[in-house]
Structure 1
Amino acid sequence: MSEQGRTRRKGYEKGDEEEHPLYRYVCDREEQTGFPLLHTHRIFLKRRGLDSRLRVLILVLACSVLVSRLFSVVKRGESLQWMMVIAALLYLQWHRCRVEQEAVVVMPTLGVQLETVYCSKSVKRRFVPLHRILLPVINEAVTPTTCYSYLALLLRDEARLTLTFLHVRPPLSMLVPIRAALCAAVEQPSLQTAP
């Protein structure tokens, strides 16, 4: 595709990036000739080397205690081998399930695609057609230990809310521009007559 046919711009209202101690927010706006403006809102989890190393160390110590209790009848040389195997399997499972980023892709005439990218590079996608979205809402969840905001989609013919970010809890300042893009896509007059 030629350069004139496709232009890529970054930014949406407040800017294209926002930093937080745990997350990084990036908004891409992509426009192609003949297609409406496409908004991609990505939230990346920041990696902290010391935290992950500390978690692995705690995991190995916990496995060693567990193995020493479970295999107390096994010879000492064999229990070390079992401990290493169990620790390696637990670490691989933990690393495979870790989330690298989550994204909301707003396609104004089609719908919303919700993506989750894992550290194992597997991607999980969910698509919500635009005619099913009644309203994007920002709610506040209160748990015994914390309070956080989340963005959800109120859908037609569904009693439950559809959460946009399942694994990350971005701050309110990152959720506001995403909700604004979703509201702009939902309130288009051409889509009000859709079934």
Structure 2
Amino acid sequence: MRMVELSICNRRFTYVHDRERAGGAIDTHHVFINRSKASGCTACLSFIFLVVLVTGSLYLLFGKDNPAIIFSWSCLLSGSFVIFKSQKSVTKESVIIMPVFGVQLETHYSSGRYVSRFIPIHKILKPVLVECVTPVTCYWSLSLLLRGEEQLTLVFKELRPPMKMLVPIWKALCSIIDSGQDVDIN
């Protein structure tokens, strides 16, 4: 039996924390991307825009000889590009905490494919919240400091959820690491 303990939602993301009660303390944290109904319309409009753009480019390159072949190639190239981009879009990322074993990080894509990484509990030194500053933006990231690794391991590789969604996951990770760290955040 699963029980949702906490849910936070904003314009871009939805955070759901559920804990499996049946036989163990598996602690699961999900961050979903909120997709609007307009995203399908946006994909169609971008496909049409790409077809027009590629058709015009091919027409200028190859001349007026065979417009049907140019249009066919432009549809094929634009469709391939849209399919490629849709397969790379992320629908959710999850953190599954198994206190005795470790942490499993999952990334789910809209194509149905998912990638998971397992990090054993003995390898995790400390979870850290890091402020990332780029020339364009500033955002928070949750990372793991691992034993024997020189770089931090990102918990969310694709998504950038806000701080209020990262804090409960950070607290849960701190509680299983038993690092003596004060987990009281205001």
TM-score (norm 2): 0.88
For 1:54-73, list aligned pairs within 5 A.
54-72=42-60, 73=62
Query: Could you tell me which of 135, 141, 146 is aligned with 1:150?
Result: 141
Taking the aligned partners of 2:174 and 2:21, their CA distance within structure 1 comes to 19
Cα distance in 2, alignment partners of residues 30 and 78 from structure 1: 57
Map of 1:192 onto structure 2: none
Give the deviation of 1:145 after TM superposition.
Answer: 1.1
Structure 1 unmatched runs, 5+:
1-6, 190-195
Q: Does 1:125 align with 2:121?
A: no
Provide the aligned C-alpha RMSD in A. 1.8
Q: Which of 24, 30, 36 is matched with 1:48 structurally?
A: 36
CA distance in 1, matches of 2:57, 2:77: 14
How far residue 62 of structure 1 moved from its aligned partner, in angstroms, is 3.4
Contact (CA 8 Å) 2:14, 2:34: kept in 1 or not?
yes
Q: 2 CA distance for matches of 1:56 and 1:152?
A: 36
Find the counterpart in structure 1 of residue 77 from structure 2.
86
Distance 1:111 1:124 in 2: 17
Q: Residue in 2 aligned with 1:193?
A: none
Q: Contact 1:25–1:41 at 8 Å: present in 2 too?
A: yes
Measured after TM superposition, the shift of residue 52 of structure 1 is: 4.6
Inter-partner Cα distance in structure 2 for 1:132 and 1:82 = 51
Identify the residue that residue 4 of structure 2 maps to in structure 1: 10
Q: Is 2:98 aligned against 1:107?
A: yes
Instruction: Name the CA distance, whole Å, in 2 between partners of 1:179 and 1:102.
Output: 15
Identity %: 35
- Asked if 2 retains the 8 angstrom alpha-carbon contact of 1:135 and 1:186, the reply is yes
Structure number with greater CO (CA < 8 Å, separation at least 6) is 1
What residue identity is the alignment partner of 2:2? Answer: R
Quick one: distance in 2 between partners of 1:22 and 1:117?
16
1:156 is displaced (CA, Å) by 0.5
TM-score (norm 1): 0.84
Using the TM superposition, give the Cα deviation of residue 59 of structure 1 relative to its aligned residue in structure 2, in angstroms: 4.4
Q: Report how many aligned residue pairs link the two structures.
A: 177
Partner Cα distance (1:99, 1:63) in 2: 25
Q: Secondary structure at the match of 1:85?
A: helix
Shift in alpha-carbon separation, 1:188–1:155, aligned structure 2, 3 A? closer
How far apart in 2 are the matches of 1:49 and 1:67? 28
Show structure 2 runs of 5+ residues with no match. Answer: 181-186
Letter in 2 for 1:147: C
